[in-house]
Amino acid sequence: MNADLPIIRLRPKSKPQAIRHGFPWVFADELVTDRRTRAIPPGSFALLEDAERRPLGLVTVNPDSRIIARMMDPDPQAQITRDWIAARLQRALALRARLFDAPFYRLIHAEADGLPGTIIDRFGDAAVIQPNAAWAERMVEDIAAALREVAGVSTVILNGQGRARALEGLDERTDILSGAVDGPVEVPMNGAIYLADLTQGQKTGLFYDQRPNHAFAQRLAQGQRVLDVFSHVGGFGLAALAAGATHATCVDGSAAALELARGGARAMGAEARLTTRQGDAFEQMEALAAEGAQFDLVICDPPAFAPSKPALEAGLRAYERVAKLAAPLVAPGGYLGLCSCSHAADLIAFRNASARGIGRGGRRMQLLHTGQAGPDHPTLPQLAETGYLKALFFRLDG
C-alpha cells in the first residue's frame, strides 16, 4: 500500500535496535543522505530500512533538520490520514479523561503520545496546537479537524512560535483555525484560577506541567509568606494563595503575565494578598535581599537555561546563581523550591548546581521532595527529552 513512498536507509554503522526498541528519532549523521533523500520535501513520509534493507517503520522526513526522520508508525503499511491522527487523539483523550475531572490539561505530549513534534493543550472548549515538526505543520488542518471530532472542542488555535520550530526550519505564526477567542480563558487548577492568553501568551498560554509541583508547594504554603520568582501568570503564587498563604509576591519580567496573575487573583477573591514586581528576576532577588525581605516559602521556576547540550555549562551556572540569590530570601526553617525545564540538564546535574548555589548563599539544606511533570505529560523512556521537568524542594536552616 505504501510502495509509492520513498525509501530511506540507515548507515551501516548505525544501530537499528534502538529504533526497534522504541527510540523515535533518526539523526542526519545516521542516515544515508544521498541526493534523492535530500530532495524529499520536509514533512513527507517515507519507509525507513536498516542497512540490510529490513523495514523499521513509517517515518516523517525533514532534510532541513538535525532530526532527519521521526518514527510515525512501526507498521510500514500504515496510512497517515485524518483517521490515523484521530485514533492517536482518542487514545490520549481516554487517558486524560481518567486522570482529570475537568477538561484542562495537555492532551498531546509529542512523541510520548504518538504524534511526533506535536503539542496540544486543552482549555475547556478551546485547544492550542503547537506543530513543532514539519509533518504536523503540513497536516495541521487534519489535526485540527480530528481534534474537533474527537475532543468536541470548537476553538482551535495554532501557536507556531518557539525554538523547536526554528530547528525544523519552520516560520513563526499564530492563527485561529476555528472558533473565536474573546480574551483570556479562566483555568481552574489545584483550587486556584489562572488566566491563560491563548493567542499572545507564552507557549500555549499556561504551563500545565507544574500541576503536581504546585500541589506539593501548597502543603508548605498554608499560613505562610510566599515568593514566586519567574512566576509567569502566577503559577506557584496563585496556588499558594488558594491553599491559604497569608501573602504571595510574584516576580516576572513580563508586565502582561503579571497582569494575568492579578486577574487570576481577582477571580479567586485573593487580590489583596498578592503583590507583583516586574523586572529582571536576578535583579529583583538582589533588591529584595537589600531590602531585608524574607519569606517562608520561595519558589524559582526559570525558563530553560540549558535548552541544548552546548548551553549546558552556562545553564548550570545560571541555575546555581538562582539558588545562591534565592537562599538568603528564605526565613530560617523555611522552604525553597527550585525548578528546571531544561532537558539537557539531567536531575543529578541540576540537583548538584542547586545545592552548590544554596551553599554559596550561606545556607544548609535538607532535600525534601523531588517532583516532575504531571501524568498529562507522559514520558517516553527511550527519549530523555520527554522527561524534561525537575522540581526540588528544600528545607533551609541557618
Q: What is the pLDDT of residues 23-67, one digit of tens each?
A: 999 999 999 999 999 999 999 999 999 999 999 999 999 999 999
> Is residue 2 domain-resident?
no
Confidence of residue 14 (pLDDT cuts 50, 70, 90): confident
Query: Do 165 and 243 share a structural domain?
Result: no
Query: Do 371 and 246 share a structural domain?
Result: yes
Query: Do 276 and 241 share a structural domain?
Result: yes
Range of the domain at 103: 82-178
How many structural domains are present in the chain? 3
Query: Do 251 and 119 share a structural domain?
Result: no
Identified catalytic residue from 250, 300, 339, 341? 341
Measured distance CA(270)–CA(8) in Å, rounded: 58
> End of a domain among 27, 53, 73?
73
Measured distance CA(340)–CA(315) in Å, rounded: 10
> Is residue 1 domain-resident?
no
Query: Do 64 and 33 share a structural domain?
Result: yes
Query: Do 247 and 193 share a structural domain?
Result: yes
Query: Do 134 and 37 share a structural domain?
Result: no
Query: Do 304 and 248 share a structural domain?
Result: yes
Residue 224 has pLDDT above 90, yes or no: yes
Query: Do 344 and 201 share a structural domain?
Result: yes
Residue 32 is part of a domain; what is its CATH number?
Answer: 2.30.130.10
Query: Do 387 and 356 share a structural domain?
Result: yes
Query: Do 134 and 35 share a structural domain?
Result: no
> End of a domain among 141, 158, 178?
178
Please report where in the chains the cell 482551535 appears, as a residue: 156
Query: Do 125 and 202 share a structural domain?
Result: no
Using one digit for the tens of pLDDT, what is the confidence trace for 350-387? 999 999 999 999 999 999 999 999 999 999 999 988 88
> Is residue 172 domain-resident?
yes
341 noted as active-site residue: yes
Residue 104 is part of a domain; what is its CATH number?
Answer: 3.30.750.80
Closest CA to 243 of 262, 269, 215: 215
> Is residue 290 domain-resident?
yes
> Is residue 154 domain-resident?
yes
> End of a domain among 21, 41, 73?
73
Residue 1 has pLDDT above 60, yes or no: no
> Which string of DSSP letters, residue by residue, matches 76-124?
TT---SHHHHHHHHHHHHHHHHHH-SSSEEEEEEGGGGTSTTEEEEEET
Residues whose CB falls within 8 Å of the CB of residue 283, separated by 6 or more in sequence, listed in order: none
Helix (H) or strand (E) holding 366: strand 364-371
Which pTM was predicted? 0.95
Residue 342 is part of a domain; what is its CATH number?
Answer: 3.40.50.150
